[in-house]
Amino acid sequence: MSKTEVKIKHQASGKLVPATLINGVSIRQADLTQRAWDEALMKYLEGIPKEDWPEHTGWDWKRKYKKYGRLSAYHFFGIECNSVMQGLLLLSTLFRTSRIDDGKQIIYGAYLATAPWNLRQLTNNPQYSLVGSVLVAAAIETSRGEGCAGRFGLHSLKQSEQFYRSCGMSDLGVDGDHNDRLRYFEMTTLAAEKFLPE
């Protein structure tokens, strides 16, 4: 496990506050996070039609840890602030081929989510922002460390598509080969340099 100090934005004050980026989230942390997020979701989702729920509502991070967390080809990141996990990211460093830069290798963002209390679709007063952006930066840094020059790809839930576009990722359309027919996005080296200069 490694820890790096990062900054996220405390929405009420408008100030950047210190947080910890953890590379190597433990099963205990995944379990505690899942419990806290589930409890918050029960409160926020009361009275909200199911079609308006966050699309990642059914994700089980403890189960994801059990499946991927001990494999060397996966990196499990978390952002902790005030002893509470504000976002999680699961990255695969099993090389894939870029769909933009022929023959070049990329890594893959398997799952990325922020805590329920940070989602504008659930609350008018989210606690923190920039959590997703810090996790995208972590993906870029990991890609660079793997020799992929910042390149990575992912399949986006529909509710997150605009976020990835705002990060500078290229929208390559609906992936007919993907089980859920999600849109596929890639971060190019140039876009990575703009988002997170070396």
Q: How many domains does the chain have?
A: 1
Q: What percent of the chain is predicted at pLDDT more than 90?
A: 80
Q: Answer for the pair 54, 36: CB distance below 8 angstroms, yes or no.
A: no
Instruction: Say what the pLDDT of residue 1 is.
Output: 87
Instruction: Say what the pLDDT of residue 13 is.
Output: 96
Across 117-127, b (16+ Cβ under 10 Å) vs e yields bbbeebeeebb
Instruction: Say what the pLDDT of residue 18 is.
Output: 98
Report the predicted TM-score, pTM, of the whole model to 2 decimal places.
0.94
pLDDT in tens, 130-189: 999 999 999 999 999 999 999 999 999 999 999 999 999 999 999 887 777 899 999 999
pLDDT band at 71 (very low <50, low <70, confident <90, very high): confident
pLDDT band at 31 (very low <50, low <70, confident <90, very high): very high
Work out whether strand 105-114 and strand 152-156 pair parallel, antiparallel, or are unpaired: parallel
pLDDT of 2 higher than 90: yes
pLDDT of 70 higher than 90: no
Q: How far apart are CA 14 and CA 32, in angstroms?
A: 28
**Residue 31: domain span:** 2-195
The domain spanning residue 40 has which CATH number? 3.40.630.30
pLDDT of 49 higher than 90: no
Instruction: Say what the pLDDT of residue 178 is.
Output: 75
Torsion angles phi and psi, residue 54, rounded to 5: -55, 140
Q: What separation in angstroms does the CA of 190 have from each of 4, 187, 198?
A: 25, 8, 11
Largest CA distance in the chain: 49
Instruction: Say what the pLDDT of residue 64 is.
Output: 93
pLDDT in tens, 5-20: 999 999 999 999 999 9
pLDDT in tens, 160-169: 999 999 999 9
- Name the E strands within 38-115: 74-81, 84-97, 105-114
